[in-house]
Amino acid sequence: MNISQQISTTPFLDQKPGTSGLRKAVTVFQQPHYLENFIQSIFDSLEDLQGQTLVLGGDGRYYNRQAIQIILKMAAANGVGRIKVGQGGILSTPATSCIIRKYQALGGIILSASHNPGGPDGDFGVKYNISNGGPAPEKVTEAMYARSKVIDRYQILEAPDVDLETLGESRMGDMVIEVIDSVEDYEKLMESLFDFDRIRQLLTSGNFRMCMDTLHAVAGPYAHAIFEQRLGAPAGTVRSGIPLEDFGGGHPDPNLVYAHELVDILYGENAPDFGAASDGDGDRNMILGRKFFVTPSDSLAVLAANAKLVPGYSSGLAGVARSMPTSQAVDRVAAQIGIECYETPTGWKFFGNLLDANKATLCGEESFGTGSNHVREKDGLWAVLFWLNIIAVRQQSVEQIVREHWKTYGRNYYSRHDYEGVDTDQANTLMENLRSLVPTLKGKQFGKYQVEYSDDFSYTDPIDGSVSNKQGIRIGFTDGSRIVVRLSGTGTQGATLRIYLENYESDPAKHDLDTQQALASLITLAEQIGQIRNSVGREQPTVIT
């Protein structure tokens, strides 16, 4: 007989979810009652939890297993009817979204700090996704935060730990626990969207080699199952495919800096034709050709322009959406196809309403995220399969496809400069100073650049009318170039300042420049207007992508 206990607690005042859930150092989550308080705050802010189905899993990082056992016991004590939990506690973020939707669950809890490092000294995180499969919108996360500030008790069942390795059902109190295959439902969904036969021909033709680096994170089992077992790619195609609690000591972020082993392979001797990487929880992706990097903004634009070649999208796109700092490359594709392009704040949660209302089919962000209406999350392996499907149909290299794209639409040179771990007060002061400058900039001339508009981006959701203010400073110039400055909502130490730079070039003769060179005068101008390095006391950015 399991006994439900009511435990007294006191609030922690720092449980405000950021861009993507609550992210903190593992040591913060390990404090007595910390995780429990936040989970109870989630449960307390959900209506009709009694008897409902939830989905639960995580990216396998340190503390994943312990947290899952705690959450199962709390769910049982809070009257949840059924929990579908990934085998070994493993579920990627897009797979969770897929499973919530497929089985019409009330929602899901995803344990991940995404691309942040893991291990005892790394980060941990909790995200809640709603019944459409997408990240909880702001009004839901605000309710959780409000509850966390006044919480004085939580419910937990006294029960033995659950075996997470064996597939099948068991009971904890009145709740059914179903340990499910982490990959199966997701793989079926991918098969319904892409031409697996054609991709298999490509991967087994002997003329095409790919390398997929899952960075010892959650996408490993999915990539092994789909690329090697299902689509016939040779064993070894997937690198670092076993999820490790500390991601092998690496930073599970698929960009040129942190996925450098993959970059070395794709830029080395006898390089494969295609390279890709995914992040901690499997929702981000990086695409590489042989000695060729595809910026995430260009990737979104290429997918949009070629969507008709892919079975799941052959009837065309309802519209596209990108986050505000993402380059405007996809806008040009949308204009030519004659569909709407929506500009939202940073954060996948802002795409949910557009996808639900069938206003947008494809969405993407500069932060290595692309996805579609097949789930309500960005989806790393989906993007890789989309690229493979296009390559299989067009029989061209990644570089040829992107270069032809630039020829047709022009090239949006694009880069993001991050200053990580800066002093929070200094970062806030810099943003305040920029905010006060914004109204004075319109019409001003800076060398060859004339300011066409400048504002602090505000978004009114076209579906529910909700307004999100202060989403980042935009300075747009008459030639289509832009400087965007905002503070990250996903860091866990100090503040991370992000400077986004974009320069449009229509002339194909000028499509071969080095990106940082092409943006050099804009980089200088950003510094001149924002006084960035002085304000945060840094000589140069921490990461340039």
Question: Binding ligand G16 by CB under 6 A: which of 115, 359, 411, 417?
Answer: 115
- Entry field: residues in the chain: 545
Question: Cβ closer to ligand G16: 86 or 472?
Answer: 472
Task: Tell me which of 312, 347, 371, 472 binds ligand G16, using CB under 6 A.
Answer: 347
The CA distance from 417 to 530, in Å, is 13
114 binds ligand G16 (CB under 6 A): yes
Which active-site residues does the annotation give? 114
Residue closer to ligand G16 by CB (options 117, 289) is 117
Among 41, 285, 346, 412, binds ligand G16 (CB under 6 A): 346
**Least distance CB 487 / ligand G16 (angstroms):** 8
Helices and strands, counts by H and E, the chain: 18, 27
SS3 of residue 285 by DSSP: strand
Of 232 and 489, nearer to ligand G16 (C-beta) is 489
The answer to whether 545 contacts ligand G16 (rule: CB under 6 A) is no
Nearer to ligand G16, 252 or 410 (CB): 252
Q: Strand ranges (DSSP E) for 392-435?
A: 411-422
Q: Which stretch binds ligand G16 (CB under 6 A): 158-166, 285-293, 486-494, 535-543?
A: 486-494
Closest distance of CB 368 from ligand G16, Å: 8
Shortest distance, position 141 Cβ to ligand G16, whole Å: 12
Question: Which region, judged by CB under 6 A, interacts with ligand G16, from 68-76, 82-90, 343-351, 430-438?
Answer: 343-351
Distance CA 337, CA 348 (A): 24
Rg (CA), the chain: 23
Instruction: Report residue 219 CA to chain centroid gap.
Output: 13
Rounded Cα distance, 123 and 326, in Å = 26
Determine, following the binding rule CB under 6 A, whether residue 59 of this chain makes contact with ligand G16. Answer: no
DSSP string, 121-175: TSEEEEEEE-TTSSBPPHHHHHHHHHHHTT--EEEEEE-PPP--SS-EEEEETTE
Asked if 543 contacts 255 with a C-beta cutoff of 8 angstroms, the reply is yes
Cα(124)–Cα(66) distance, integer angstroms: 12
> Which residues, numbered 272-291, are part of the site for ligand G16 (CB under 6 A)?
279, 283-284
Q: Pairing mode, if any, of strands 362-365 and 319-323?
A: parallel
Q: Contacts with ligand G16 in 352-391 (CB under 6 A)?
A: 365, 367, 369
- Give me the least distance between CB of 123 and ligand G16, in Å please: 10
Stretch that binds ligand G16, among 260-268, 382-390, 456-464, 482-490 (CB under 6 A): 482-490
How many Å apart are CA 130 and CA 45, to the nearest integer? 12
Tell me if residue 540 falls in helix, strand or coil.
Answer: coil
Cβ proximity to ligand G16: between 49 and 330 the closer is 330
Of 293, 255, 325, which Cα lies nearest the Cα of 500? Answer: 325
Task: Pick out residues in 300-329 that bind ligand G16 (CB under 6 A).
Answer: 323
Return the closest-CA partner of residue 217 out of 115, 316, 309.
Answer: 115
Applying CB under 6 A, among 489, 494, 527, 531 the residue interacting with ligand G16 is 489
Binding mask 6-35 for ligand G16 (x = CB under 6 A): -------------xx---------------
* Contacting residues toward ligand G16, per CB under 6 A: 19-20, 114-115, 279, 283-284, 323, 346-348, 365, 367, 369, 488-490, 498
